[in-house]
A and B are shown apart, each in its own frame.
Chain A
Amino acid sequence: MVTTESSLAKNPLLEGMRLEKRASPFAMVILGAHGDLTKRKLIPALYALYLEDLLPKDFAILGSSRTKMTDDEFRGVMKDSVQKYASDLNFQEDSWGEFAKSLHYLAADVMKSEGFTQLSDRLQELKQEHSTQGNHIFYLSTAPSLYTPIVKGLASSGLACKAKANQVPWPRIIVEKPFGHDLQSAIALDEEIHEVFSEHQVYRIDHYLGKETVQNIMVLRFANGIFEPLWNQKHVDHVQITNAETLGVEGRGSYYEEAGNLRDMVQNHLLQLVSLVGMEPPISLDPEATRDEKAKVLKCLRPIDPGEVDQFAVRGQYGSGHILGQAVPGYRQEEGVSNDSNVETFTALKLFIDNWRWAGVPFYIRSGKRLAKSITEIAIHFKSPPHRLFSESLDTVSDGKTEGLSPNVLVIQIQPEEGISLKFATKQPGQTNQLRHLNMDFKYGTAFGVRSATAYERLIHDCLMGDPSLFSRTDQVEVCWKFIDPVLEAWSDKSRKTNFPNYAAGSWGPSASDDLIGSTGHSWRRL
């Protein structure tokens, strides 16, 4: 529940009252409503918000795509989806029936101006029918190539315009990644969007940032006195961020051929995680204060020289192999993928944040498809103790130093189970000085027996409330593209040979990835 300390000192009755903030009436238009995202994530999230009583009394959801469907058919499809993909929700016919009254559908082609006329007319009807007060959210759940025509169509039909911060009624737009294809296209897309919307109206959604544990990174760092003093180059040896998936491209081969892993995962999700781990404390919880700090740390990423890409970046592509006992094909055998594709399905990067706090601390990030296990985590590896006291327990001894001693590791787990664990040394029971390293584990699911809101629930609710804290700002997007552009450029150079496929499905990626981290004396965590 979002609460706020009322600052309306003018009204004495509101002083000291923590009011529950409620979203204003709205109509959300989901463009591309026939797609998977709408079925799997958006409608289940909106229904969950409805069940939690977090939607206003008056709202309408208008799905739109070229597919012909009636309102009732759309409701039927969405009902099946909620039951299939949101089994943790307390689905009930009564509550669904009430919710579904606000669900509507419009078959329209947004590549034609008539499509926007139809959309405008339907929204006008819904304004009367559901008292939406003319507040509109346009959710772009379409192919990225449609973003610009849609934004232009919204403007020319009068459905969208630049608005002041507290203006009502308000139009807002939610943009799904990818935000551009490279730096140049990202800037071009932003310019198109900013022709029509002010930045505060634009919500670039990165669902990673809506996850409970990701939000908890800031709480862990800035609400606990014990971690922040250690959170710097004096005490942190290195940081590893892993995003591993057992899944392949799952029928999205043609999309993946255009995107690749670096664009699909690293440019947005993983660099956002880097910013949360690396940022300085914001001056307040004001949305812009947090986004300012994240942008600042991303601007400190040491640029990768195009001539040195191989020293800092490794790419891979999976071949056939086995996942959980099942034989799976290689990437080049996937539907929609060229049989000589050089698109990467795996990325490992070594990066440095050149600022006072992180000088000299390597951040290793890896992301890949068809890896041995599905897991996403951030691991902060602390430096070993300066003096070796428990020599018998050392794994290896080198010149009396403690290189072999297993260091403390703080792990922030994001998927599949959200939680935090701290690895530390303890003495083995009995007449021995042997050490044993144990994990102190905190799991969200077991510490709080309640269901956590999904990332989409949290982010859609934030958008309804006009809170952009967890959405990417234009300068963050730009600086992320600027950082990876040299790598993209080098990898798109056809004269550079690849040995694809260079890892088997079900492994932990190409051996070059081990060499990348090994060159600085580290190794990937065994997960």
Chain B
Amino acid sequence: MTATKPLIKDKKEGTEAFLSGKLAQVDIEKIEKELQTLWQSASESGEATGSVTRACAMNLILYSEDEDAETVAGDVLDDITTRHPCRAILAISRTAATPSLEAWVSARCHITDSKSGKQICCEQITVRSQGNGPNELTSVVLPLVISDLPVFLWWRAKKVDFASVRPFLSYVDELIVDSAKDEGSCNFFSDLIHIIGAYLEEKHGAQIVVSDLNWRRSLLWREALALSFDEQHGHLSLDALKDVKSVEINYVAGKTECKGDLNQTLLFIGWLANKLGWQFKSASKSMVHFSAGKNSVEVSIKSGVDADASHIGNICSLEVSFNDAAFPSVVLQQTAGAPGVQMFASRSAQAAAAPVPQQDFRFKVNQATEARLIDLELETIDRDPTLESAFRMAAVIADQIGAKAK
């Protein structure tokens, strides 16, 4: 492990650079002390020039192994820190032949009053660990957590493995993952359930909330389908939900196969099956079979392509059909250029050929950016039993898909 000397030499210059968001390298043992000095200096200069208020309502640890970690963190923090003032700790882990451990600090300021120049500032601490194990990184990062404030861990890595995640968990109130990013596991959901289960078994009485950005991305589809059967919105008969014959889900696949692409669809199927009380029977990559009382339900999964890479992994349309012809088929889809999700209900192929939307659902989270999704996750720390049961069903489905693929 090597520690670099602090680069903050000139106090005034250092403070200005700090407030403008430039990273100032600090000695790894003196991160808190350097921050304290910079804030004090900022406060003094703020008295002369306007005012600088340091605000902090939570800790946000962003764990990443990516090359673009700093850039992504910068973009996201710029967006979210106005609504969620926090101490942001960027924990970067990389492989390298020579171990090193370095830290930087910077402020993220927003001018709240252009006349007076008043600024609200949050702080960002970047800790980059190269060629070290997870314990070296967490031994620096975790003491930086401000006590008594909630701690969110955003796990922005291609895999979720116990050895890397476990050291963080004792400090964390909410673990935010993104199953769309998964590249490393056969079954992301199963791995996550195992990690959390093992941790909770080890720490009896501990609590941790797990959320998935991909679950939030699927929200508009879940809401649109649910509202289609709501008496105030879609007006479709609730009895139809007991008579589902088949579901077809279309999602956007990447040009090269990535394990995470299918995860949003699996979560959606898991949710739907749980809510409608379906029993899992079998699964392949393109079809999942359930039983629903005396009936069978087939869920077919189809992939398409989209020029926009940000859509990869997202559901783009779905259709639900029923055994009883009296119930119209329901088609939900997003139309290019139109906000939200349109619902079409048709009893005949003729009507389906010239569809007119029966309902136009608009949602706040509609093709949301990563920053917007994180922004929503930071609003509350609530366990979501619906997500937890969707995880379990998705894990069962993914297990069988994985087994067949072998």
Contacts and interface: CB of A to CB of B under 8 A. Distances in A.
A12 B241 contact: yes
Interface string A1-44: 10000001011111111011000000000000000000000000
B386 A17 contact: yes
Nearest to B118: A446
A12 B222 CA distance: 12
A20 B222 CA distance: 13
Interface in A28-69: 53, 57
Nearest to A52: B364
Contacts of A8: 230
B400 interface: no
A8 B238 CA distance: 11
Interface stretch (B14-22, B80-88, B279-287): B80-88
A402 to B, nearest CB: 31
Contacts of B81: 449
A14 B230 contact: yes
A324 interface: no
Contacts of A11: 226, 229-230, 238, 241
Interface residues of B, number: 32
Contacts of A448: 55, 82-83, 85
B337 interface: no
A445 B227 CA distance: 37
A16 B384 CA distance: 8
Given A16-B384, A17-B222, A17-B226, A449 B241 contact: no
Interface in B271-307: 272, 275-277
A449 B110 contact: yes
A418 to B, nearest CB: 13
A416 B130 CA distance: 51
B120 A449 contact: yes
Interface in A142-199: none
A12 B230 CA distance: 10
Contacts of A445: 112-113
A16 B85 contact: no
A12 B364 contact: no
Given A16-B385, A16-B386, A447 B241 contact: no
Contacts of B118: 446
Contacts of B225: 13
Contacts of A16: 384-386
Interface residues of A, number: 21
Given A20-B364, A53-B364, A448-B83, A13 B112 contact: no
Contact of B275 (A1, A15, A57): A15
A226 interface: no
A10 B118 CA distance: 51
Interface string B14-45: 00000000000000000000000000000000
A283 interface: no
Contact of A449 (B112, B226, B229, B386): B112
A57 B338 CA distance: 13
Contacts of B238: 10-11
Contact of A447 (B85, B226, B363): B85
Interface of A: 1, 8, 10-17, 19-20, 53, 57, 443, 445-450
Given A16-B386, A53-B364, A446-B112, 18 more contacts: A8-B230, A10-B238, A11-B229, A11-B238, A12-B241, A12-B276, A12-B277, A13-B276, A14-B226, A14-B227, A14-B230, A19-B227, A20-B363, A446-B120, A448-B55, A448-B82, A449-B85, A449-B120
